[in-house]
Structure 1
Amino acid sequence: MNIRVVIIDDEPLARLAVKVRLAQRSGFELLGEFADGASAYEGIVALKPDLVFVDVEMPGKSGLDVMAALPTAQRPMAILLTAYDSFAVQAFELAALDYLLKPVDDERFDEALDRAQQAFPYRCRGAAATVAPALRSFSVRNGSRTVLVPVADVERIEAEGDYVSLYANGKTWLVRERLHNLAKQLDPRHFHRVHRSAIVRLDMIAELRSLTNRDALLRLRDGSVLRASRTYVPDLADALQQRDARTHS
């Protein structure tokens, strides 16, 4: 199921930059674009997008005004765009999915789309959408043999272009699959994406240490150290708290 997108920005070049980047990613469908708040509000109500890229500051009704005017139940996921960082409080009050400062670099844009894809299944569940069963094992070629690696044995997964490396029981297995596809198939109660290039099994995390730029360092039980992007840190912290609550319940 594609994530349906609307772009709201009064600058034509800014809208074009989002469209070009969006076209490079699978799983997203552009429904329309709007240059002012009034038409954007009507467009969201009519098109019912799953995700909006919305400029915070526009003539007349601002992007924040548009989002605030929508009933909470009708409010799509939002990625806010702005040249200033003074709107962060309002962004979090509106439960914005991400907050991108202009000019947006490619890595931050990709991280925002990754976060949208990660959040999308949970929003769909409230609308009675079906979610694929969690992956149980990986089929891995080992010479002339095919080996089944149980997902429960996998400690972390790292991207290697069109492949991923599975780390399990002291061994590393190479699988032809994109990381963002695997992220949608793994059980979120046990695995969590911590970076655009890494997924970690939650019970492998021994320590999470916050950094000044809102990223975090993860120390795993096998001694490995990974960097968690600030895009994923809030959801990762929530997932760890929920895991701890289940463990002690």
Structure 2
Amino acid sequence: MRVLIVDDEYPARKELRAQLSQFPDVEIVGEAATADEARKLIAALSYDVVFLDIEMPGRSGLELARELAQAGGPRVVFTTAYPQYAVEAFDVGAAGYLLKPFDEDRLAKVLERLGARAGPTAEAAASAPPPRIPAHRNDVTVLVAPEEVVFAYAEAEQVYLKLHRERLGCRFTLRELETRLRPHGFLRVHRRFVVNLAKVREVVPYFKGNITLVVDDAQRTEVPVSRALAPVVRRSLGLRED
């Protein structure tokens, strides 16, 4: 279950992210601080569920939910401190309505209705040895540890792992690789690129908020970042949002 968290308050996003990490079927694919930022992410990537605040700067969560319902977008669970919006929320097809502050039991009930299951915590999963990624060099299968990968990318219907000096083919789709590598510090930065954030050495700004990442491989490759994902990338790298 691919999830987007939308809330203008960082502490609220952080708390919800920690709660959702207890569910092995939940993959947090992005965060947004406004409805407009969320709409760009939804247009760029695929989501199953959006956890959506209501009162935010600019457009409200209800406006975004109405737009998503009309477009056949992902399901919406509202997370808000205000009970008075409940009727309107379900009128726009909400899959859940959680009043802040809510505990993990209430969240679990909503996720269960959406098809997720409870299981080992993210901390327990992180303590297991990281799985290696099978790749190929000609006819030889090479098992690659996540920390060896600088970035993964798709090109001409083929997916590649870029290591420090060489490129290896991979039979996973880019989405499958993203799922496998995300727990190890990787982030989708573009429709065709998933990057190991620990390997980013420079962030090069361009006009209108666009950025490019220079990564730490032998070629100092420049990896493009889509405009919609740039705010998520900046936050993930601890950068100030312009």
Instruction: Give the TM-score of the pair, scaled to structure 1.
Output: 0.48
TM-score by length of 2: 0.49
